[in-house]
Chains A and B, each alone.
Chain A
Amino acid sequence: MSKKRLLITAALLIAAGLFSINSTVSAQAKPQTAPPCLQCHKPDEKVLRGALGNVSMKAETIQVQTGAAVWLVKFDDNTKLTGAEKLNKIPREKEIAISFTEKDGGLYAASVSVKPPAKIRDEQFINAGELAKLVAAGPEQGNFTLVDSRPAPKFNEGFIPGAINIYDAQFDKNIAKLPKEKDELLIFYCAGPT
């Protein structure tokens, strides 16, 4: 491929990219739910679920990224907000859900809700006494992996015997440290509520 053709191809690709970002309001085929949200939520034609993009308090618009697509939604004082004090106080990239209606040819947010912290069911907790029995047997005998989610310096200072260290903030990068057998028991601990 010649240099010139490469450039043209690149320019076309960029133009295509820009076009897809600009065409926020139209197209029914655009995904309304970001793939990670689908793990717990069913797609709903009246709801957008994804990561928060820009919020303009002046233009009264909010962006939400639902996987490959970006939606632009109008809001006003009547938009119900749960999980945050103000729209511009929500951290960017935070998972949100917008219930919308169509209004004046665009989308209008009837409500915006911020994803609440994950709920953990009681039976998913292990107490120190039960853990001590497992730890006494050891990870191999007990067939479990114990993960210390604190930063490395805290782990180094004192950890539960047999634990491995994956700092929560670097968890995504270190998934390979988890056992390959996905049905193995995983136990996480940290420094408790801080």
Chain B
Amino acid sequence: MPEWKKAGNLVASTVANLKEHIDKDMPHVLIDARDLDAAEKEHIKGAASIPLSEIVPAKDRLPGDKKAPIIIYSDSAKTSEDAFKTVRKWGYPNVAYLTGGIEAWKNAGNPVMSGELKQNIVYASKPRPGEVGVEDFKNIAETLPKDKFILDVRDEDEAADGMFKGAKNIPTQEIKAKLADIPKDKEIIAHCSTGVRAEIAYHALKEAGYKARFLNAKIKIDKDGKYEITKE
């Protein structure tokens, strides 16, 4: 995927992803690339109107933060793809178009709105729910407070290459079956190698009634327990 994205190729995203961003109020930029008339008739909540025909002068309306997740939709694959290519060329690596466009959104039973679309695009990144700060994490991993429990949710063969001292390894997909091995009276700090599986683990733990947080960053741990964290 990183190679694919770096080359500027098309990237699609799903209705489920957009719904999650809207429902959980996760920061994102949503662009309706159809003509203004069509957009005012019905559009997805939070969308800004940037018709493909007027996309070039709209460059300055996009956020200064190039890492911002941008989702483009329209009613034709061609329109969405062309808008994608333009925005991608402006240097936004996390742009994606909505597969199936507004039709797919509606077909999944999601609501649309009518009326004016918002004028200003406001974007501010914020930590995902349950995220533990990198400095906090380092502090916990190094001092291992009695009320914290580090859970390594990578697969066993990854953990075999090096783990934190005092950490326990239970792969994400086995957590539900192994809750008995996870102490209820401590806060669980989950990590994997990129943050993705740790986040899934965080949700599984929260659902099971645990107090938990997760590390949303890349991390490498070697045999001596030495580690390196990179936050994107």
Instruction: Tell whether A pairs with B.
Output: yes
Chain A interface residues toward B at CB < 8 A:
84-85, 89-92, 94, 127-129, 131-132, 135, 148, 150-151, 153-161, 169-170, 189-192, 194
Q: How far is the CB of B14 from chain A (nearest CB, A)?
A: 4
Contacts of B9 in A (CB 8 A): 128, 132, 135, 160
Name A153's contact: one of B3, B94, B157, B199 (CB within 8 Å). B199
Contacts of A190 in B (CB 8 A): 1
Task: Give the contacts of B155-200 with A (CB-CB under 8 A).
Answer: 155-157, 159-160, 171-173, 193-194, 196-197, 199-200
Most B Cβ at <10 Å: residue of A85, A90, A156, A161: A156
Name B10's contact: one of A92, A127, A161, A169 (CB within 8 Å). A161
Contacts of B171 in A (CB 8 A): 169
Contacts of A158 in B (CB 8 A): 1, 5, 11-13, 94, 96
Q: How far is the CB of B119 from chain A (nearest CB, A)?
A: 27
Q: Are A159 and B11 in contact (CB under 8 A)?
A: yes
Q: How far is the CB of B170 from chain A (nearest CB, A)?
A: 12
**Knowing that A92-B156, A132-B9 are A-B contacts, what are 9 other residue pairs whose CB atoms are under 8 Å apart, sorted by A's residue number?**
A151-B197, A153-B199, A156-B13, A156-B14, A157-B17, A158-B12, A170-B173, A189-B1, A191-B2
| Bound form: Cα–Cα A169–B155 in Å | 9
Q: Does B69 contact A (CB under 8 A)?
A: yes
Most B Cβ at <10 Å: residue of A89, A148, A155: A155
* A128 and B4 in contact, given A84-B160, A160-B9 (Cβ under 8 angstroms): yes
